């Protein structure tokens, strides 16, 4: 038998002609049995996959099935996938080995990926490990023989590569439970490649990494084939253990046969990642009811998954944490309490289990593993409680005949249930008080007889059938009596002759019959008697068991001659009968005068049989005739004892006689015996008797219970309670009762026709029986009351440690901050599993009214459930728990907690504080100078922030250079205003771009906000520039007019330079790093400051001054051209005026003086001589010469 545990479709396109690209496409159906490591492959001739016409030079494997190809923990693939795989030795076609990913759906693992080999032998291969069958029942040859081997339990993690062929992949694993970290390197051969044909992104390929252990997997490093390192995105995947659930195992010898009213406790063991959900089905007598249990998790368990609302890929959205202990497998035991209220088959079946990230293990598929199936299903056979009662009415006790033989008499017995029955019977013999014998009896028939051989009271004590103990129904007592043997008394009175007094001419015979009145036809005579009176013999025969009146037969024989005997039969209605026997008159007739008085007579006015009770006195009215007063004699016969009574002086025509107190139950016969009137005439009476049936016991009424502790019943609130009654006597009964706890002065009465009836009531309290009357007698009632209680309704409770209960009955939870995970544990009382429904209402901070957001439903098999509170956005939240149900109160009710109809929880969610920089830079960032301090008055504006929340605030601000990983964190506390100039004590010690970020802000309510990366308002950029400096290129500070003064500038250009020249302040802008100034006049040139492009980051250099002197000059002869004629041998003096600052050094030359006749002037010729004069301290110098020529100063300094 093939189990379609996971049905998949595989399409293989085989290359028949690689050159011509001719393919042979075959479709297969793969049916895998999760209990065996193999799959069965069928050739699918009716496949619907022919629409896939994709062809290439590689084989195509198309996998489609109802099972998800990957666990929901990962990015799930579509239901239809096409994988492209390579052939080995394609051209020769000697063998085809396809690495195929088969994703199995197992009873124990919700997501199982197994790698198997589909081996197809082509040509004349003789290997046939598995015979293929097509859907049309045909058998195929060896070319279609396939073998599928299922591998180990594992999962394939998809990794997508964009234009990258992986060479090595470094995969790290963090164990959930221990936190240990391991890593291994995977080569290209360790990966499984699958190209998605439908991918619209060229170059995007998917590879699979096979893993077999749960944990947090992360890609540490990926090296491509070109040995470059790939950039990683979404580099973490959490692989969890798939959920499992099973019922508890039963001990050896456990019986699944149960009885009505029993309770059974068992448990569900759930494994997996909380919160877990179980979907179960309860079936009672074919009626199915869903039983879902949600939010299964251990106490005090916290998980980031609990705040997720979308189950798709929730694991991938969980941020990386330091500890993954919450992701480890949890084991939770869910108790189940079951009450069996109806005789039926109860089946509890687990349908599925779902873990916190949406993985579902489905158990709805059939399995041949009976042991495993038993762990997913509980099946109970609930049997009706048996019952037993006697078919023995109190008015007709069972008669035990003397001499009837053993087991000739039996008590009719009626039982219900399943045979065989074991009945415990008690016996109390008459005349032996406080004696009770008991014995067990095995009964195999629903209608049987209890054989008895002794008179007494037989009582049913208990009954048990094949499965259950049962109830004793009424009548549970049966009286077995032994009537006396029938007998009669004969009294004869002779009739005297009037002639001869000593002679008897006849006789009066009075026959008194003793025994039961006839009630059975066709019986034989019971006894005989005879009497001899002179020559007349009377034989009497009493027939006691015939229908109708007594039949008295007798025979009269004279003189012993039987041939002349006469037989007569009298029909009589009473137990006393008078017969007169006399011969015919003979002899002479004589005339006799005589006064004849009429005979007196007496008879009962009513001849009907009477029924009465023990302890009663019966009055019988008699009609009398004759001469008054009368003397009346009568007798009362009871169980062989005759009691005579005589009443004289009766004057009325009617008289009432009274019976004695009837203290013993049984049949009493009252017979009139004789009457005598005032004339002395007497008459033996044979009037019909009156039979009085005296009940052997008084009727009784009591509640049925096995012990006084069990004289109670609990029912659902508002439903009808049926109190079991047990009544003795003859129907109908009239029972009166009252509720001792509710209006005890009001009596209730009801007519009952069944000895095992129920008293239907609707109020709780103690019910007491007051009196009972059956059809004839008043009776006795039991003093034991019956308690009626309501099964407590399921209730919800919130402990005072979790929330404060206000006087208006509303619970108030401590305020929390927006986005903080918060939950509350609800305690429930009742019978699990529970169903809870609540409305979540939201009031924004700026609004006055609440509005309903949604209705949530919870199901829990535990006595507590965790409700995750919504904490975003900020505002006021109200949770109104308005419905609850449990396994007994299946219709949702208002939860009623602490006297309130609805449990209401309120919580205020405070907005997280926020902080932002208010000073916006003009061009993307602020500018400061190295050495500037943010606490300075000028720069404090940069640190101005605006805060929202509840003051006082605490704030952490980090300042770091762009190249630094971590910067300096400044913690500022007790900020009471919403706007602040922080004035941070931070000095910019180096140039470059600095980032000032608000890392954390906390308000007075403890709410913390950490701005997200890239939040512009929480970050500002500050560019710190070096101080602009200026340095003279020349070390001298003395310059002359006409000199160029050169300076080197350091900083960010353009520079702004301020200088003072001859007490005049000047500012110039230089765009290069060199500053030059021409000394055009003498004076004092001093650099005052130098700044950057915004004239910031200025420096104020000291001693950067230049003294500009005027250029030295020499004037020969006052600057006039003098032509002086001297005599040979004379000396001529040329006075040189030196202008400048001594000492002077100058050079003078004498040139040849040539006269130009045309122009009539002298011109210089060649230099004849030159002289350098140094260290001249005066401003005048005289040159004496005796040679002709032109004297001039050529250089001066």
Comparing 286-300, 552-566, 586-600, which segment has the lowest mean pLDDT? 586-600
- Is 20's pLDDT higher than 80? no
At 392 the three-state DSSP class reads: coil
| Cα 1118 versus chain centre, distance | 123
At 698 the three-state DSSP class reads: coil
Cα 884 to Cα 857: distance, rounded to the nearest angstrom? 10
Cα 204 to Cα 674: distance, rounded to the nearest angstrom? 130
In the block, residue with structure tokens 């009368």: 630
Rounded to whole angstroms, the maximal C-alpha distance in the chain is: 263
| Cα 869 versus chain centre, distance | 17
At residue 558, the pLDDT reads: 67
At residue 404, the pLDDT reads: 63
Cα 49 to Cα 60: distance, rounded to the nearest angstrom? 12
Contacts (Cβ under 8 Å, ≥6 apart) of 137: none
Which residues, in sequence order, are bridge partners of residue 222?
169
With beta carbons less than 8 A apart as the criterion, state whether 934 and 985 touch: yes
At residue 842, the pLDDT reads: 94
User: Which H or E element spans position 371?
Assistant: helix 370-375
Average pLDDT over residues 550-565: 68
What fold, for 700-790? Immunoglobulin-like (2.60.40)
Q: Between residues 1044 and 120, which one has the greater pLDDT?
A: 1044
- Is 1014's pLDDT higher than 80? no
Domains of the chain by residue range: 6-239, 244-383, 387-481, 489-582, 700-790, 799-902, 914-1025, 1029-1109, 1113-1196
At residue 1187, the pLDDT reads: 76
Q: What is the DSSP string of 411-426?
A: EEEEEESSS-EEEEEE
At residue 1093, the pLDDT reads: 66
DSSP state of 483: P
pLDDT in tens, 446-484: 888 888 888 888 989 889 999 998 888 888 888 888 777
Q: Between residues 36 and 190, which one has the greater pLDDT?
A: 190
- Is 848's pLDDT higher than 90? no
Class for the domain spanning 914-1025: mainly beta
pLDDT in tens, 875-906: 999 999 989 998 888 888 887 655 566 889 99
CATH architecture of 244-383: Sandwich (2.60)
H helices, E strands: number in the chain: 1, 90
- Would strands 471-472 and 487-496 be described as parallel, antiparallel, or unpaired? unpaired
Cα 1109 to Cα 1141: distance, rounded to the nearest angstrom? 9
Cα 800 to Cα 812: distance, rounded to the nearest angstrom? 10
Cα 759 to Cα 778: distance, rounded to the nearest angstrom? 19
State the Cα angle at 663 between 660 and 664, rounded to 5°: 115
pLDDT in tens, 1154-1192: 777 777 777 777 888 888 888 888 888 888 777 777 888
Comparing 141-155, 182-196, 370-384, 718-732, which segment has the lowest mean pLDDT? 141-155
Average pLDDT over residues 42-67: 36
With beta carbons less than 8 A apart as the criterion, state whether 1185 and 1151 touch: no
Which two structure tokens, joined as six digits, stand for 683? 């008459």
Confidence at 113, pLDDT banded by 50, 70, 90 = very low
- Closest C-alpha among 1028, 809, 820 to residue 929: 1028
pLDDT in tens, 417-445: 898 999 999 898 877 766 678 888 888 88
First to last CA, the chain: 125
With beta carbons less than 8 A apart as the criterion, state whether 269 and 331 touch: yes
DSSP state of 275: S
pLDDT in tens, 233-271: 766 788 888 888 888 888 887 888 999 888 888 888 999
Is the pTM here over 0.75, yes or no?
no
- The pLDDT > 90 percentage for the chain reads 9
Class for the domain spanning 387-481: mainly beta
Comparing 115-129, 155-169, 238-252, 793-807, which segment has the lowest mean pLDDT? 115-129
Q: How many CB atoms lie within 10 A of CB 851?
A: 9
Compute the half-sphere exposure of residue 547: CA atoms within 13 Å on the CB side of its CA: 2
Q: How many CB atoms lie within 10 A of CB 1065?
A: 10
In the block, residue with structure tokens 């994703």: 103
Q: Between residues 48 and 355, which one has the greater pLDDT?
A: 355
Q: Which CATH superfamily is domain 1029-1109 in?
A: Immunoglobulins (2.60.40.10)
Q: What is the DSSP string of 1159-1196?
A: TTEEEEEEEEEEEEEEEE-SSEEEEEE-S-SEEEEEEE
At 1117 the three-state DSSP class reads: helix
């Amino acid at each position: 038998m093939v189990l379609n545990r996971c049905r998949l479709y595989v399409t293989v396109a085989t290359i028949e002609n690689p050159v011509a690209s001719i393919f042979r496409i075959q479709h297969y159906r793969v049916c895998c049995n999760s209990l065996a490591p193999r799959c069965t492959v069928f050739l699918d001739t009716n496949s619907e996959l022919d629409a896939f016409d994709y062809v290439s030079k590689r084989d195509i494997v198309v996998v489609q099935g109802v099972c998800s190809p990957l666990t929901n923990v990962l990015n799930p693939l579509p239901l239809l996938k096409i994988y492209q795989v390579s052939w080995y030795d394609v051209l020769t076609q000697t063998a085809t080995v396809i690495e195929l990913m088969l994703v199995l759906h197992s009873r124990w693992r919700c997501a199982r990926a197994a790698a198997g080999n589909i081996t197809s032998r082509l040509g004349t291969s003789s290997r046939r490990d598995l015979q293929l069958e097509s859907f049309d029942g045909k058998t195929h040859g060896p070319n279609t023989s396939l073998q599928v081997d299922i591998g180990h339990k594992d999962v394939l993690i998809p990794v997508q590569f964009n234009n990258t062929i992986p060479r090595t992949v470094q995969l790290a694993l963090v164990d959930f439970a221990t936190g240990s970290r391991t890593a291994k390197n995977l080569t290209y051969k360790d990966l499984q490649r699958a190209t998605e044909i439908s991918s619209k992104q060229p170059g995007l390929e998917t590879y699979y990494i096979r893993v077999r252990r749960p944990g947090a997997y992360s890609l540490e490093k990926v090296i491509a084939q070109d040995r470059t390192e790939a950039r990683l995105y979404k580099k973490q995947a959490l692989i969890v253990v798939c959920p499992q659930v099973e019922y508890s195992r039963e001990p050896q010898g456990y019986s699944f046969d149960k009885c009505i009213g029993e309770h059974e406790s068992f448990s569900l063991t759930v494994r997996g990642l909380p919160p877990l959900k179980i979907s179960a089905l309860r079936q009672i007598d074919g009626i199915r009811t869903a039983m879902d249990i949600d939010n299964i998790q251990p106490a005090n368990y916290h998980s980031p998954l609990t705040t997720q609302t979308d189950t798709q890929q929730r694991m991938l959205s969980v941020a990386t944490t330091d500890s993954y202990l919450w992701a480890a497998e949890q084991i939770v035991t869910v108790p189940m309490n079951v009450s069996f209220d109806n005789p039926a088959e109860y089946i509890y079946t687990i349908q599925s289990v779902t873990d916190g990230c949406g993985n579902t293990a489905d158990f709805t598929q059939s399995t041949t593993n009976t042991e495993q199936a038993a762990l997913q299903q509980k099946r109970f056979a609930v049997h009706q409680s048996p019952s037993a009662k006697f078919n023995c009415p109190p008015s007709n006790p069972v008669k035990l005949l003397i001499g009837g033989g053993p087991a000739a008499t039996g008590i009719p017995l009626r039982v219900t249930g399943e045979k065989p029955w074991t009945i415990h019977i008690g016996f109390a013999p008459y005349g032996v008080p406080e004696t009770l014998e008991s014995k067990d009896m095995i009964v195999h028939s629903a209608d049987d007889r209890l054989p008895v051989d002794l008179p007494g009271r037989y009582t049913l004590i208990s009954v048990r059938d094949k499965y259950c103990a049962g109830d004793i129904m009424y009548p549970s007592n049966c009286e077995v009596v032994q009537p006396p043997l029938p007998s009669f008394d004969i009294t004869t009175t002779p009739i005297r002759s009037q002639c001869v007094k000593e002679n008897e001419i006849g006789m009066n015979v009075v026959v008194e019959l003793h025994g039961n009145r006839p009630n059975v036809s066709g019986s034989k005579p019971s006894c005989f008697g005879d009497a001899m009176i002179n020559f007349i013999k009377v034989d009497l025969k009493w027939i006691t068991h015939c229908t109708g009146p007594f039949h008295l037969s007798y025979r009269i024989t004279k003189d012993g001659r039987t041939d002349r005997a006469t037989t007569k039969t009298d029909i009589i209605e009473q137990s006393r009968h008078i017969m007169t026997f006399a011969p015919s008159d003979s002899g002479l007739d004589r005339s006799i005068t005589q006064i004849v008085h009429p005979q007196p007579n007496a008879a009962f006015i009513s001849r009907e049989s009477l029924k009465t009770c023990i302890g009663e006195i019966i009055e019988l009215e008699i009609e009398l005739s004759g001469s008054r007063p009368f003397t009346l004699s009568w007798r009362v016969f009871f169980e062989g004892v005759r009691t005579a009574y005589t009443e004289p002086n009766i004057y009325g025509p009617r008289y009432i006689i009274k019976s004695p107190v009837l203290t013993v139950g049984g049949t009493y016969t009252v017979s009139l015996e004789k009457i005598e009137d005032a004339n002395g005439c007497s008459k033996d009476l044979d009037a019909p008797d009156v039979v009085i049936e005296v009940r052997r016991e008084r009727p009784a009424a009591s509640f049925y219970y096995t012990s006084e502790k069990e004289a109670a019943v609990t029912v659902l609130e508002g439903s009808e309670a049926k109190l079991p009654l047990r009544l003795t006597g003859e129907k109908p009964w009239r029972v009166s009762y009252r509720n001792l706890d509710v209006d005890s002065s009001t009596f209730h009465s009801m007519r009952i026709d069944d000895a095992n009836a129920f008293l239907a009531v609707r109020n709780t309290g103690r019910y007491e029986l007051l009196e009972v009357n059956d059809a004839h007698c008043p009776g006795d009632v039991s003093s034991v009351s019956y308690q009626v209680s309501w099964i407590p309704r399921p209730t919800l409770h919130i402990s005072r440690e979790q929330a404060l209960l206000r006087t208006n009955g509303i619970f108030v939870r401590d305020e929390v901050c927006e986005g903080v995970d918060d939950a509350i544990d609800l305690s429930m009382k009742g019978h699990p599993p529970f169903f809870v429904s609540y409305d979540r209402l939201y009031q924004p901070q700026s609004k006055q009214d609440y509005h309903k957001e949604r209705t949530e439903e919870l199901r829990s098999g535990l006595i507590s459930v965790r409700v995750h509170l919504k904490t975003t956005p900020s505002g006021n939240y109200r949770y109104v728990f308005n419905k609850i149900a449990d396994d007994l109160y299946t219709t949702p009710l208002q939860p009623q907690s602490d006297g309130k109809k609805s449990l209401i929880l309120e919580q205020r969610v405070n907005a997280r504080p926020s902080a932002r920089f208010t000073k916006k830079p003009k061009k993307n960032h602020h500018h400061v100078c190295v050495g500037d301090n943010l606490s300075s008055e000028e720069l404090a504006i940069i640190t101005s922030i605006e805060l929202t929340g509840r003051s006082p605030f605490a704030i952490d601000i980090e300042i770091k250079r762009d190249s630094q990983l971590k910067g300096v964190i400044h913690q500022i506390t007790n900020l009471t205003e919403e706007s602040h100039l922080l004035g941070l004590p931070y000095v910019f010690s180096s140039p470059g771009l600095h980032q000032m970020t608000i890392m954390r802000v906390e308000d007075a309510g403890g709410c913390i906000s950490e701005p997200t990366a890239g939040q512009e308002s929480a970050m500002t950029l500050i560019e710190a520039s070096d101080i602009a400096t200026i340095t003279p290129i020349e070390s001298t500070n003395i310059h002359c007019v006409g000199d160029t003064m050169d300076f080197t500038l350091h900083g960010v250009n353009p520079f702004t330079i301020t200088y003072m020249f001859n007490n005049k302040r000047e500012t110039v802008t230089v765009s290069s790093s060199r500053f030059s100034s021409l000394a055009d006049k003498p004076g004092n040139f001093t650099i005052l400051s130098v700044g950057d492009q915004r004239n910031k980051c200025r420096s104020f250099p000291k001693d950067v001054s230049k003294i500009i002197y005027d250029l030295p000059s020499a004037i020969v002869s006052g600057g006039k051209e003098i032509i002086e004629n001297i005599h040979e041998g004379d000396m001529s003096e040329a006075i040189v005026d030196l202008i400048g600052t001594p000492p002077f050094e100058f050079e003078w030359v004498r040139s040849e003086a040539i006269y130009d006749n045309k122009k009539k002037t002298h011109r210089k010729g060649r230099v004849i001589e030159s002289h350098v004069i140094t260290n001249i301290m005066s401003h005048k110098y005289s040159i004496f010469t005796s040679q002709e020529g032109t004297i001039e100063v050529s250089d001066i300094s």
